[in-house]
Structure 1
């Protein structure tokens, strides 16, 4: 299982369980909280009414009919109040007053006048100087029909002369409780979703960053060119830079070792020729023979110089992981520059530049100039006098393919797949000598840096080299 998915699953379980626990706890506390607030309001209401009724009850002249009418009128009021988006269309308090013996004097419902309520907890406890409250179900088996009663004493000079009780059914609180629970549920679910979304994005980002680092490491281990991934964040960025530094160190050591081996191998032949000619020149010989050996030394010296220069150019390209610049370059002008530089060698050939002037490629000028110089030099080496060398293009989607045709004998099948190998070369038709074998390898490296490719094949009448490069639209 990928690391990102494992991190997300752990995060999902943690956030899910934590969110569910907190949300369920808060939801469970909504009902008790509403009931506590309601009870506190009932206490205030009962004590207010106790003060209003004290003088009448103390004088013994409580006008039961008057108060009964007032309380019943109160019970019939229709407030039409808008409370947090809910309409309150009736009052839900029941109020009754008892004397010092617990006998009901006034009842807003008109049901209990004259009854003995001295055994009900709200009246019983209040008459004894305690906090009187009770909760009674209207329907014994239905907890939703519970009614909360809160009583307050009516006192005269510290003596309890009566009790007033105020009640409120739980069913009137239920809509507010359900509304609060619903809002909490949506709010909690939204927070959990946002938390999981943030966790998912974090896991995806971390997984994607690690995957990019893994791809980079695999590409480097496979010997491919791969730019260092641009990562944000301290530790990941440091890890990427550490991998790049390690790659540079390892590749540098391996490259130097390989470079020294190949260089010493290729230098043996010309050095041996120079040393042999020099030893022969120490003895007496005819002037013509001496001149021939001097010419050999000059030829092999030039070969050594060319080999070293091309190896240096190739090393410069092979060690690079990307281009220093990507600018639009006119392809026809680049080809013309190389044809002018080789004008002396093209006098006996039919050379044509058929690249349209408007075609532009995206790349680094110096490297493309060197690559085109190697392609032209290779074509001129194998084209006989009077033969054709032609440059043309084949635009495609997003790329342009430069086609270099030269009229010559076909390349042997066994050599076609090896022409871009380092130090692999075919004998030149005129001199029979081989080149350094680094030119086409250099072109391949330049093409790879530009995101292109090079292919070589036989066609009717000669050979075609196809170099694909990014096209500027």
Structure 2
């Protein structure tokens, strides 16, 4: 599982558990909280009314009173009140009064007068001087039918002479409970969705940055051209720059060591040849031999210069991780320039160059100078191996998302033992005319192809000779 997905799942698990816990606490506390608030209100109401009717309860009988009549009328009153968007159309209080034995002497609902309520907790506990309250379902098993009863003692001095109970159905406040729970769930859901979106954005950003860094590391590990992506000025960006700096130092040190060893090895032969010729020139020699050894010094010196120049060019492209200032390059025009560069050598060897170009030359995005040198190296190899008076082919074709430059010759081809070593530095095959090569041309072409996101393939042709194919990607836009 990718790290971005792990982080997202972990983040969402934490947020989800926290939200679930909070929502459950809120939802679980809404109903008890409303019930406690209702009970508190009933306590105040019961105590107030008990004090009001105390002087009317004497000797177990309830004396007539305008106050009691008002309480009776209260139950039959119609109202219409908007409470936070909830319309209240009836009054829900029920009030009943019992004497000191628990017998109902007054009931605002008018249905239970004369009944014995001494066993109900609200009356029973209050007559004992305790706090009396109960909740009773009017329909068995239906929680919404619960009615809350809260009692207060009616006193004559310190003596309890009766009980006044105020009752209110919980269904009257259930609508507020439901609305509160619904709002909590809705807003909790919104919170979860917003948290998920934030988590997705964060995980996407982190996975994208880590993915770019991992691709860079993979390219470095595989030895491919790799440019450090722009990762910003955060911890990941700092880590990427640190890895790039470490890579540059390690590769630079290793590369310099390899280069020095290789260069020293390759320069041994021309230096030894120059030294031997110079020692012989210090003696008296016939003019012909003198000229021979002098030419040898000059040719070996030219070979050293060519070797160093090509090696420096290879070093530059090997150390270059990306193209600076890439531009649109007309491959047809570029191939004609390369042909013009090689015109002298082609004429010297009596070779013909047959070019095949499409009606509309494709454009690639890259470095024109590097591409010109790379194609020139391929053409130089073809000239070296093509038989005198023969023909060299140079063709350009575009298909799909790539352009192909193919250079062919009718030479001896590639021996099987050399097929896997063509792109090794300083490895070269003997030329038919005895000439020598630096062995740096094809490695240079490979590096240039990699810089452009392309590839180079050199193999024997189907009809003999050698076939070199340079593939370059066509840009989506120029």
TM-score by length of 1: 0.83
Which of 385, 390, 406 is the matching residue for 2:393? 390
Secondary structure, counterpart of 1:424 in structure 2: coil
Distance 1:63 1:375, change over 3 A: same
In structure 2, the residue matched to 1:109 is 109
- Further displaced range: 204-213 or 323-332: 204-213
Distance 1:82 1:402, change over 3 A: farther
Report if the CA contact (8 A) 2:338-2:372 is conserved: yes
Deviation at residue 120 of structure 1 after TM alignment:
6.8
Please list every run of 5 or more consecutive structure 1 residues that lacks an aligned counterpart in the other structure.
Answer: none
Deviation at residue 31 of structure 1 after TM alignment:
1.1
Distance 1:233 1:428, change over 3 A: same
Secondary structure, counterpart of 2:397 in structure 1: strand
Report if the CA contact (8 A) 1:68-1:107 is conserved: no
Deviations 1:156-188 (A, max 9, x none): 99x999986432112333343344334433433
Report if the CA contact (8 A) 1:71-1:107 is conserved: no
1:440-451 mapped onto 2 (5 Å cutoff) = 440-451=442-453
In structure 1, the residue matched to 2:408 is 405
In structure 1, the residue matched to 2:335 is 335
Deviation at residue 384 of structure 1 after TM alignment:
3.6
Secondary structure, counterpart of 1:420 in structure 2: coil
Deviation at residue 240 of structure 1 after TM alignment:
0.9
Report if the CA contact (8 A) 2:121-2:134 is conserved: no
Report if the CA contact (8 A) 1:363-1:470 is conserved: no
Equivalent-residue separation in structure 1 for 2:93 and 2:369 (angstroms): 94
Distance 1:415 1:120, change over 3 A: closer
Report if the CA contact (8 A) 1:406-1:462 is conserved: yes
Distance 1:233 1:201, change over 3 A: farther
1:202-241 mapped onto 2 (5 Å cutoff) = 202-203=202-203, 205-206=205-206, 209-210=209-210, 212-232=212-232, 234-241=234-241
Equivalent-residue separation in structure 1 for 2:75 and 2:14 (angstroms): 56
Deviation at residue 90 of structure 1 after TM alignment:
4.3
Deviation at residue 304 of structure 1 after TM alignment:
0.5
Distance 1:269 1:45, change over 3 A: same
Deviation at residue 70 of structure 1 after TM alignment:
1.7
Distance 1:450 1:138, change over 3 A: closer
Equivalent-residue separation in structure 2 for 1:326 and 1:133 (angstroms): 90
Deviation at residue 46 of structure 1 after TM alignment:
5.8
Deviations 1:7-38 (A, max 9, x none): 55654554444333322222221111111332
Which of 450, 466, 471 is the matching residue for 2:469? 466
Distance 1:386 1:314, change over 3 A: same
1:66-105 mapped onto 2 (5 Å cutoff) = 66-67=69-70, 70-74=73-77, 77=78, 79=80, 88=88, 90-96=90-96
Deviation at residue 271 of structure 1 after TM alignment:
0.8
1:20-419 mapped onto 2 (5 Å cutoff) = 20-42=20-42, 62-63=65-66, 66-67=69-70, 70-74=73-77, 77=78, 79=80, 88=88, 90-96=90-96, 106-113=106-113, 134-138=133-137, 142=141, 144=143, 145-150=145-150, 165-192=165-192, 194-195=194-195, 198-199=198-199, 202-203=202-203, 205-206=205-206, 209-210=209-210, 212-232=212-232, 234-347=234-347, 348-356=350-358, 357-419=360-422
Distance 1:100 1:198, change over 3 A: same
Deviations 1:289-309 (A, max 9, x none): 111111111111111100000
Deviations 1:216-235 (A, max 9, x none): 33432332222224334622
Report if the CA contact (8 A) 1:362-1:469 is conserved: no
Deviation at residue 248 of structure 1 after TM alignment:
0.5
Please list every run of 5 or more consecutive structure 2 residues that lacks an aligned counterpart in the other structure.
Answer: none
| Count of matched residue positions in the alignment of Structure 1 and Structure 2 | 468
In structure 2, the residue matched to 1:435 is 437
Secondary structure, counterpart of 1:400 in structure 2: strand
Secondary structure, counterpart of 1:236 in structure 2: helix
Deviation at residue 142 of structure 1 after TM alignment:
4.8
In structure 2, the residue matched to 1:424 is 427
Distance 1:98 1:336, change over 3 A: same
Deviation at residue 385 of structure 1 after TM alignment:
4.0
Secondary structure, counterpart of 2:345 in structure 1: coil
Deviation at residue 266 of structure 1 after TM alignment:
0.7
Equivalent-residue separation in structure 2 for 1:57 and 1:198 (angstroms): 67
- Further displaced range: 239-248 or 219-228: 219-228
Secondary structure, counterpart of 2:429 in structure 1: coil
Distance 1:299 1:174, change over 3 A: same
